[in-house]
Amino acid sequence: MEFLKEIERRRTFGIISHPDAGKTTLTEKLLLYGGAIQEAGAVKSNKIKKGATSDFMEIERQRGISVTTSVLAFNYQNKKINILDTPGHKDFAEDTFRTLTAVDSVIVVIDVAKGVEEQTEKLVEVCRMRKIPIIVFINKLDREGKDVFELLDELETKLSLRVTPLSFPIGMGYSFKGIYNVWEQKTQILESNDKQKIASAIAYESLEDEGLKKVLGDQSITELRESLELVEGIYPAFNKEEYLEGNLQPVFFGSALNNFGVQELLDCFIQIAPAPLPKLTDKRIIKPNESAFSGFVFKIHANMDPKHRDRLAFIKIVSGTFKRNTPYLHVRHKKKLKFSSPNAFFAEKKEVVDESFPGDIVGLHDTGNFKIGDTLTSGEEIQYKGIPSFSPEHFRFINNADPMKSKQLNKGIEQLMDEGVAQLFTLNLNGRKVIGTVGALQFEVIQYRLEQEYTAKCSFESLNVHKACWISTEDEQNESYCDFLKVKQKFLAKDKQGQTVYLADSAFSLQMAQQKYPEIIFHFTSEFD
């Protein structure tokens, strides 16, 4: 029974958005309300020399953006909450897509002035396809922005969501005074303006309250009443089952920076968000309440602490109890491994845990055993499905800028590639190394991290490649395949696993190769049988 209670307590969710919608700031404020931190670091404030708690890589603090998914956990009202704060920038979307395989629900953050943006559309499309329950938080209400109903309309038309507001703003921009909580039917007027600590708020149980009338004035209350009547008439009533099935999306309004509306979001979230959900493997669906342990690696991070050169594999526990110093089967390697110091996370702060339950994210110290998508079990040979791997879109030669540091450079490249930030190809013709990434900004991150974490300097040189295709054939001795290897020799490379890759220089070349060599299968992801 204790095991089932622990599962029911867990809430594991991701926060996604377009860059600069305030995702990392919202994460900070959730931690603040959860009591996990006493003071939040404003992400971009020059006055506060404290970075956001979830941005623990130096380059993130410098640029004010998230470039890697952070894992954070805290307790709130007897619920164990695991947050995965994802990068918003499109160049790091691959990390975000992988993270969505490890969450049971998501909160989508929308900027009140910009509304629905391109990156949000792509991420929400993935959530909708996977039927992940979505809550929308419309942020920055203290700034001038779009009309409330215009924003709700955008959510329906651009994101194809079926929305129902569970809170409603009182005023917008400069006239923003607080939030009406539709979920609890209360009015919150926030009077403090301290962005780093939890603001003091006055709660009014009824719109008839004389004190509320004095604060807001009759006109504001009349406008609020009319808006709430409109909401009731236009939008469906909240239904928890429909939300959990991904068919209804509650919407909250607020300002994460100023602490408006965050508690309303959190209080409702812990009541309606799903506990850990079943997950599909290549053989069957695994349920969280099964006694046998299983989990999968959705992220690898080298140098969580550069002083110790530690590398962590992040595992989402799907079923059973994960126990310290217990041997578990690494399915791909078919060998048992045990872990003496599994970590639970609070951004860069880690603590060793003796046992973890479904829904939890555990960091395992890794010496090179894991790659993204690996499954760990009590003994059953299963493989979790749905971990995406993308064909790179940007390619550059990587050159060593300091011959004295060749060893450090090679080690750095190897470890960063294992994290999944990019892919490494070695040309068959001359052994030159090519880095392929999904986004161009990743080259800057690789260069920065190689220098900061491995004391290795590199430079990049442009390379005209349109797409990387993994190639396979049923008979490697057939004439057509041998001809292809000969003709395309200078465009062939090996990836980190030793698989043959064709680096097509243009869409036309690729199309011609596919037509001329029908016996060859061209794969646009490295994951194929």
Query: Hey, what domains does the chain have and what are their CATH numbers?
Result: 2-272 (3.40.50.300), 279-377 (2.40.30.10), 394-523 (3.30.70.3280)
Rounded CA-CA distance 286/300 in Å is 23
Contact assessment for residue 123 and residue 155, using Cβ atoms and an 8 Å cutoff: no
What is the Cα Rg of the chain in Å?
25
DSSP label of 260: B
Beta bridge partners of 75: 80
Q: Are 179 and 168 in contact (CB under 8 A)?
A: yes
d(CA 208, CA 489): 79
Inter-CA distances, 15 with 45, 184, 314, 434, Å: 21, 23, 17, 33
Q: Are 172 and 148 in contact (CB under 8 A)?
A: yes
pTM: 0.75
Question: Residue 305 CB: number of other CB atoms within 10 A?
Answer: 11
- What is the chain's pLDDT, residue by residue, as a tens digit (529 residues)? 689 999 999 999 988 887 777 777 888 888 887 765 544 443 333 333 344 444 444 544 454 444 345 678 888 889 999 888 765 445 445 666 777 888 999 999 999 888 888 878 878 887 887 889 999 999 988 888 888 899 999 999 999 999 999 988 887 777 777 788 888 877 777 665 544 444 445 555 566 666 666 667 777 777 778 888 888 889 999 999 999 999 999 999 988 888 788 888 999 999 999 999 999 898 999 999 999 999 999 888 765 555 545 678 889 999 999 999 999 999 998 999 999 988 887 644 678 889 999 999 898 888 778 888 889 999 999 998 876 666 677 899 999 998 898 998 988 888 788 777 788 999 998 999 999 887 777 788 888 888 888 889 999 999 999 988 889 888 888 888 899 999 899 999 998 878 899 999 998 999 999 999 988 998 877 654 4
> Which DSSP state fits 247?
S
With tokens 């708020």, the residue in question is: 201
Amino acid identity for residue 424 in this structure: L
The CA distance from 388 to 526, in Å, is 10
Rounded Cα–Cα distance for residues 116 and 110 (Å): 6
Spatial distance between the Cα atoms of 82 and 104, rounded to a whole number of angstroms: 10
Residue 12 forms beta bridges with which residues? 82
For strands 343-346 and 349-352, give the pairing.
antiparallel
CA distances 409 to 455, 497, 510, Å, are 8, 19, 32
